[in-house]
Chains A and B, each alone.
Chain A
Amino acid sequence: MSGHYNLKALIKAIRSCKTLADERSVIQKESAAVRTSFKEEDSFTRYNNIAKLLYIHMLGYPAHFGQIECLKLVASPRFADKRLGYLGIMLLLDENQEVLTLVTNSLKNDMNHSNMYAVGLALCTFANISSEEMSRDLANEVEKLLGSSNTYIRKKAALCALRIIRRVPDLMDHFVSKAKSLLQDRNHGVLLAGITLITEMCEGDERVCDEFRKATGLLVKHLKNLVTTGYSAEHDVLGITDPFLQVKILRLLRLLGKGDPTASETMNDILAQVATNTDSTKNVGNSILYETVLTVLEIEADSGLRVMAINILGKFLTNRDNNIRYVALNTLNKVVGIDTNAVQRHRNTILDCLRDGDISIRRRALELTYALVNEGNVRVMTRELLSFLEVADNEFKLGMTTQICLGAERFAPNKRWQIDTVLRVLKLAGNYVREEILAAFIRLTCHTPELQFYTAQRLYAALSSDLSQESLTLAAVWIIGEFGDVLLQGGSIDDGEEVKQVNDTDIIDLLQLVLSSPYTNTLIRQFVLTALSKLSVRFAELSTPNQSTNQDRIAEILANFSSNLELEIQQRSVEFGSLLGLRDVKMGVLERMPPPEIRTTMMGTVSERKPVGSTRTDKDTVVDLIGDDITASPNDASSSSSGPSTQDLLADIFGTGSSDLSSPSTTPAPNGQAQTRSAAADIMSLFENTPTSAPTSNQPTSISSPPVQSSSGTGSLFDLVTPSSSASAPAAPPPQLQSQAKQLQTYTAYEKNGLRITLTPKVAPNQPGVIQILARFQATSGESVGSVNFQVAVPKTQQLQMQAMSSTEISSGSTETQQMRIHAPAGASIRLRMRISYTKNGQNVTDQQDFAGFPADLTGSK
C-alpha cells in the first residue's frame, strides 16, 4: 500500500475531504503507509514521509512514531534533510521526552559543523526544546559559540544561553563575561539578544545585576544613538529606529536603576528625552513611551520625571486606541498605591473609561476607581459608582456592591449618607450583595437610633415596590421586624417628600406578599417568620388599632409553616407559635435586640463614631416654628392613633401601666407550678435581671399549661433571639425602676385660656438619646377648644419628629394626645419652644412659650 505521491498531494487530498470522517480515514491510511515505509528503512522516501507526518501532526493526529526517523534525517549530510529533521524534532519532541537525550549528540556535532547554517539549525533547535540535562551537556558549546565571529551564530547562541540559564540558573556564571562583550556589539540582532540575556541574568541574581550596573552608561549611549540618529532603513518601523531594541534597553535600565540612585541619575536625562521626543501618534511610539513610563516609575527618578510619566499615562487614557487605554489603566492600577495624588488628577478621565465599550477596560477602570476613593471625594465617586452600578455587567456587581459599601463605611461623611448609599445599593443590585455587607448594614442601623425610622420607612417603601432583590428583602424584613414599633410610631424624614404613614395591617400585608412572591426562598422565609414573631410583640406594646386581627393573622401565617418540608422553617414556625402563646415570656424573648458589637466589615475603620447626618436637608429646626411644614393634618391623625381610648394608649405606650410599676415583673410567677415550670424557669433565668415590660401581674396563672415538650425547642429559640439584657442593661433593677418612674412624671408645659398641655417624657432603655414625649391636651374650663395646632422646635443639635394629634377638637373633659420624638446627644438638656394656636369661643388664639422643665439627666449622663 502506498500513500500519496508527496506532501502537496496529501494536503490536497485532505482538503478535498467533505466530512471529518473522510479526513480521518485519509489520514489513517496515510499514517499506515508512512509507517510501513519507515520499516523499509528507505532513506530516499524519508524526507517526504516526515513532511507528510508533520502535516498530519499539525492537524492534531498522532505522529510520535516518527520521532526516531527525524533523528535519522538529522544525521543526513543533505541540508534539506537536516532542516526538516530538526523541524520534526522541534514539533514532535518536547523537553520532557526520553528520546531527547538522543538528540544531544546530533546537536553537539552540528554545533561544531563547518557550515554556519547547520550550526544555526542546531542552536535554533536547542533554544526551543532544551531540557535541563541537555543544557548542562551543551553549555560549553554554547559558550564557545557566543564568541563566534559570525553575527548570525552569536545572536542565536545568546538566546541559547538565555534558555540554559532559565532551565539551570547555576550555569549563569559561564556566560557573564561573554554577555558583557555582547553589549559592545554593533549588530542590532546580537545586541538585542545580548540585552535580553542580561535582563534575564539581572532578574535572577542581584549580584550579577550589580556587576552590570557599570554598563549603565553604555546602555544609555546605545539608547541615545537610537533616539538621535536619523532614518536607518534597516531597522525603521514607521519612522522610529528599532523600537524593539529601545524597549529592551529601557527594560534593562529599569532593573539597573531600581534601588540605585547613581544608576538612576545616569539615565534620568535620556528617559526624559525619550519621553518627550517619541512620536505618540502610532502604536510603535506608544510601546516605547509605555516602557519608559514603567521604567521611570520603578527607578529612583526625580519627581518631575515621575509626574511626566503619570501624565503620559493620563494622555494615554484619552487615546482612541483601546490598547493604549488598556495599558494605561493597567499601569495606573499598579502605581495608584504609590502616587495616589498624581493619579487623582486624571480621575475624570478614569471615570469616563467606566463607560468604555471594552469590558476589560471597564474592569480596569473600575478597579482603579475603587483605589481612588478617599474622604475628599467619596460623595462624587460613590455617585459615579452607583450610576455605573445601574448599567454594570452582572459579573461586576458583587464586587461593586462590596466596594461601594466598604468605601461608604470607611469614608462616609455621616451616617445618613452611609445608610442612603447602602439603601441605594440594595435597591439597584440587591441580588449581588455579600452577606457581610448586609450584616454591616443591619449593625449600622442598630447603632443609629436616630435614623431607625428613616431606614425602616425607606426599606418599607423599597420593598413594597420591588420584591425581586434578595438582599433588599432580607434587610427590609429584618429591620421592619426589629423596628416595627419605630416604623409605626412614625416621624418625619423632612426630605421634602411625603411620608406615607404605615400601619400594622400594611406591614403584615407586605410580609405576606413577600412570602407568596416567586422570588422568595428558604432564607427569606426564615427572616419573615422571625420578623413576624417580633412584630407580634411590637404591635402588642403599641396596642395598635387592629391588634387582635393582626395577632391572629400572625399566628395563622406562622401555623401555615408548621408542616413545611424545610426542617428549619418548620421548627421556627412551631417554636414561634408556642412562644407567642407564652405571654409573659415572649415579651422578654422578643424584646429589641441589643445593638451588635461594633466591628469593621472587612477592612477600613470603625465608622460608628461618625456624626449622624441630619434627616433634614438644609433647614434649621428653629425655622420649623415659623414654617408651616409640620402642620398636623387631621387626616393623618385618624390613620395612626385613633381607636383605643387615650388611657389605654398611654398605658401601652409606656409598656407598663403605672399600676404595673408598683409590682415589678421580675418577681417570678406563683410557686405552685414550680415543678412543671422548670423549662420555663430556665427561660426566665435568662431574663431575670431585665425589668421586662411584660404585664405579668394581669394574669398570674397564664402559664398554667407550660410547654414542657418544648424544653429542647426553647433552647434553640435563644439561638435565634438574643436576650436583650446581657449587654446593654446590667443588673440594677432599683435605679432602673426609679428612672422609669421619673420618666413617667408628667410636666405641665402650658396652661392658659382653659387649655392645659402636659408633657410626659419617656426614654426607652435600649434607645438612649431618643426621648418619646407624649403631649396631652385637656380643656380645663369646661368649654371645648377647637382647631388646636401645636408646634414645637428644639435646638439645632437635637432633632424632632412629631406625629399628628389624635384630634384637633378638644371637648371638655376628654384628653387628646400627640406623640413626639426627640433625638438628643447624651447629656443635652431638652429645651422646647412651643407655638400653640387654637380657637376658643370663636376667637383665634396664638401663643408661644418656652419649656425646659425636664430633669437634666433625662438624656442620660455624658
Chain B
Amino acid sequence: MIKFVLVQNRQGKTRLSKWYSPYDDDEKVRLRGEVHRLIAPRDQKYQSNFVEFRNDKIVYRRYAGLFFCVCVDSNDNELAYLEAIHLFVEVLDAFFQNVCELDLVFSFYKVYAILDEVFLAGEIEETSKQVVLDRLDYLEKLD
C-alpha cells in the first residue's frame, strides 16, 4: 500500500503531496524535507530508484526537474510501483498535452483529481490510461 505520494522539484518545492496514512502537519513537513534530502542527491545513472525510508521504502522516478516519489510498504513490488508512477505521469502528460511543472502549479486541483482517478486509498485504482482520460474529460465538462 502507498503511504504517501510526493512530487517535488529539484529545489525541494513540493508540487503535490497526498497522504494515505494519517500524519500530523509537523510530521508532513518533516517527511517532505527528509524525502527531498534523500532523493535529490542520488545519482540517476548509477543508483537504483528505490531507497529504504524508515520502515518503508520510497520508489521514485525523475522526469525532467521533477521527482515523483511514492512511499510503499517494504514488501511491495518496487518494479510495479515504478510502472505505476509512469502510468500517472503518462496520464498527466496526455491530459495537459505535454505537461510541465507550471501545469502542476497552476492547475494543482486538477492534478489532485487525476491522482484520485489513478490511485485511491493507497492502491492502484485504474490501469487503463484511456478510461482515466475519458473520465477526466467528462468531469471537466461538468465544471
Contacts and interface: CB of A to CB of B under 8 A. Distances in A.
Contact of A326 (B17, B48, B109, B120): B48
Contact of A323 (B14, B24, B49, B112): B49
A63 to B, nearest CB: 10
Contacts of A124: 116, 120
Given A60-B29, A322-B48, A361-B48, A128 B127 contact: no
A156 B48 contact: no
A360 B48 contact: yes
A159 B125 contact: yes
B84 A244 contact: yes
A189 B24 contact: no
Interface in A34-67: 51, 54-55, 58, 60
A159 B78 CA distance: 21
Interface stretch (B63-71, B91-99, B135-143): B135-143
A322 B113 CA distance: 33
A323 B116 CA distance: 27
Contact of B127 (A11, A163, A245, A323): A245
Given A128-B120, A152-B135, A192 B77 contact: no
Contact of B120 (A127, A234, A245): A127
Contacts of B79: 283, 286-287, 290, 323-324, 327
Nearest to A84: B109
A383 interface: no
B34 interface: no
B77 to A, nearest CB: 5
Nearest to A129: B22
Contacts of B80: 243-244, 247, 287, 291
Nearest to B117: A124
A557 B106 CA distance: 76
Nearest to B45: A357
B47 A244 contact: no
Given A283-B82, A322-B47, A291 B77 contact: yes
Given A8-B106, A58-B108, A323 B23 contact: no
B9 to A, nearest CB: 13
Contacts of A51: 109
Contacts of A324: 79
Contact of A96 (B22, B29, B45, B138): B22
A284 interface: yes
Given A55-B108, A160-B121, A243-B80, A326 B143 contact: no
A157 B87 CA distance: 22
A243 B83 contact: yes
A80 interface: yes
Given A58-B14, A359-B47, A360-B52, A234 B130 contact: yes
Interface in B1-59: 14, 17-20, 22-24, 29, 43, 45-52
Contact of A283 (B50, B83, B127): B83
Contacts of B106: 8, 11
A354 B126 CA distance: 39
Contacts of B116: 124, 128
A856 to B, nearest CB: 65
Contacts of B131: 189, 234
B56 to A, nearest CB: 14
A682 interface: no
Interface string A816-859: 00000000000000000000000000000000000000000000
Interface of B is mostly: mixed
Contacts of B77: 247, 251, 287, 290-291, 294
A514 B68 CA distance: 54
B125 A117 contact: no
A117 B127 contact: no
B100 interface: no
B89 interface: no
B114 to A, nearest CB: 12
Contact of A94 (B22, B29, B45): B22
Nearest to B51: A360
A116 to B, nearest CB: 10
A291 to B, nearest CB: 5
A726 B50 CA distance: 58
Nearest to B42: A358
B39 to A, nearest CB: 13
Contacts of A163: 121
A613 B108 CA distance: 72
B5 to A, nearest CB: 11
A302 B48 CA distance: 32
A127 B18 CA distance: 13
A163 B1 CA distance: 11
A156 B83 CA distance: 21
Contacts of B29: 60
Contacts of A234: 128, 130-131
Contacts of B138: 117
A54 B47 contact: no
Contact of A159 (B18, B52, B109, B123): B123
B54 to A, nearest CB: 15
Interface in A73-88: 79-80, 83-84, 87
A636 interface: no
A162 interface: yes
A193 B131 CA distance: 15
B105 A360 contact: no
A831 B127 CA distance: 84
Contacts of B130: 233-234
B143 A83 contact: yes
Nearest to A127: B121
Interface in A341-364: 357-361
Contact of A87 (B20, B51, B113): B113
B17 to A, nearest CB: 8
12 contacts: A11-B106, A55-B108, A94-B23, A96-B22, A159-B121, A188-B128, A192-B127, A242-B127, A244-B80, A245-B127, A322-B46, A322-B48
Interface of B: 14, 17-20, 22-24, 29, 43, 45-52, 77-80, 82-84, 87, 105-106, 108-109, 112-113, 116, 120-121, 123-128, 130-131, 135, 138-139, 142-143
Q: Which 5 A-B pairs have the closest CB atoms?
A: A287-B79, A357-B46, A127-B121, A322-B48, A326-B48
Given A60-B29, A192-B125, A327-B78, 16 more contacts: A15-B105, A60-B14, A87-B113, A96-B24, A127-B120, A155-B125, A159-B123, A196-B123, A235-B128, A244-B87, A283-B79, A283-B82, A323-B49, A327-B50, A358-B47, A360-B52
